[in-house]
Structure 1
């Protein structure tokens, strides 16, 4: 089990790093050359800044039982298909049961924006988001350590 992070837009990296360190799990954070991420535990892999380059590295390197943290529903869907566990940076679980609805909602929002409409902005990060991220990450790890 490894923890793989789509680091281009992940404000919870310090929480993820602390949990990875506590459980002595490998941590890999992918980011493009336009982001500067420094860790005292884990590995930062800097990739080119091409369209979805970080996403493709995350998808291509994840394996069954890895924990992937990404806010991209497309990345989540592809990694779920490989048997990985998925969390958003706010700690929400992506599952086979909810990913189709999330992808559909994203598609509808894109259509509205293309037609000149507006969709709501993401809500600001809260302490509850931090708590949920830590709690769900620990739950995934502990459930899989026990078997």
Structure 2
């Protein structure tokens, strides 16, 4: 098992590394040239800029049982198809049961925006989001490694 991070705009990179260190799990950070993110305790893979370039490189490296941190529903769906375990930055674990609804909601929001409508952005990140992520990631690590 590895933890792969879709790091462009990811606020929990340091939390992932600290949890991975506890469980002795390798961490790979994927980012594009505009967001080079280097951290001790992780391997950084910098990808040339391009539409979804980071996502495609990351999904090609995912193996069954890997955990992927992403807020991108499309990437989460691809990870699920490879028997990976995606989780978002707030601790929500993407599953076969919830991904279709999330993708449909994304599609509807895109339709609204393309017709000139406005959708509210995400709420400002608060301390509780980090705590929820820590709980969610720890639970997922324990489940995937059969320690739960």
Query: TM-score if structure 1 supplies the norm length?
Result: 0.96
Unmatched runs of 5 consecutive residues or more in structure 2: none
The answer for the alignment partner of 2:29 in structure 1 is: 29
CA distance in 2, matches of 1:121, 1:146: 37
The answer on 1:93 being equivalent to 2:93 is yes
Residue pairs, 1:74-113, within 5 angstroms? 74-113=74-113
Moved more, 100-109 or 135-144: 135-144
Counterpart secondary structure, 1:49: coil
Spell out, residue by residue over 1:14-50, the C-alpha distance to the aligned partner (whole angstroms, 9 max, x if none).
Answer: 1001011111101000000001312110101101001
Equivalences, count: 147
CA distance in 2, matches of 1:145, 1:73: 24
The answer on 1:48 being equivalent to 2:48 is yes
Q: CA deviation at 1:144?
A: 2.6
Contact 1:90 1:125 (8 Å CA) reproduced: no
The answer for the alignment partner of 1:71 in structure 2 is: 71
The answer on 1:132 being equivalent to 2:132 is yes
Counterpart secondary structure, 2:28: strand
* Displacement over 6 Å in runs of 4+: none
Contact 1:87 1:93 (8 Å CA) reproduced: yes
Query: TM-score if structure 2 supplies the norm length?
Result: 0.96
Unmatched runs of 5 consecutive residues or more in structure 1: none
CA distance in 2, matches of 1:74, 1:24: 28
CA distance in 2, matches of 1:76, 1:146: 22
CA distance in 1, matches of 2:138, 2:44: 21
CA distance in 1, matches of 2:129, 2:7: 17
The answer for the alignment partner of 1:39 in structure 2 is: 39
Q: CA deviation at 1:84?
A: 0.6
